[in-house]
């Protein structure tokens, strides 16, 4: 067997065994990291969650003001 026969064997083994396992492991890790929230996403979600009661209170106040000034505003929509 020539030198090229010995050189092709490790190349074929790499392409058939190592490369697919390597690619699958790589994209599995990317998929897992994409499933979790980053610290920036967690911080933004926390800020939004904390602002919900304030927004709810504002909406209730606006509705109360509209009910006092324009009693049938809900029916006009």
Please report the pLDDT score of residue 6 as a whole number.
Answer: 75
Average confidence (pLDDT) over 41-50: 95
**pLDDT confidence tier of residue 45, bands split at 50, 70 and 90:** very high
Output phi, psi for 7, to 5 deg.
Answer: -75, -35
Q: Which pTM value belongs to this model? A: 0.50
Instruction: Give residue 55's pLDDT.
Output: 97
Average confidence (pLDDT) over 55-69: 95
Helix ranges (DSSP H) in the chain: 3-13, 19-35, 39-69, 73-76
What is the predicted pLDDT for the residue at 12? Answer: 87
pLDDT (average), residues 36-52: 92
């Amino acid at each position: 067997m020539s030198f090229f026969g010995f050189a092709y064997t490790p190349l074929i083994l790499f392409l058939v065994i190592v490369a697919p396992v390597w690619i699958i492991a790589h994209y599995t890790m990317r998929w897992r990291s994409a499933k979790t929230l980053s610290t920036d996403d967690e911080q933004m979600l926390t800020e939004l969650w904390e602002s919900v009661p304030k927004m709810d209170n504002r909406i209730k106040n606006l509705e109360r003001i509209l009910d006092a000034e324009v009693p049938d505003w809900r029916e006009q929509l």
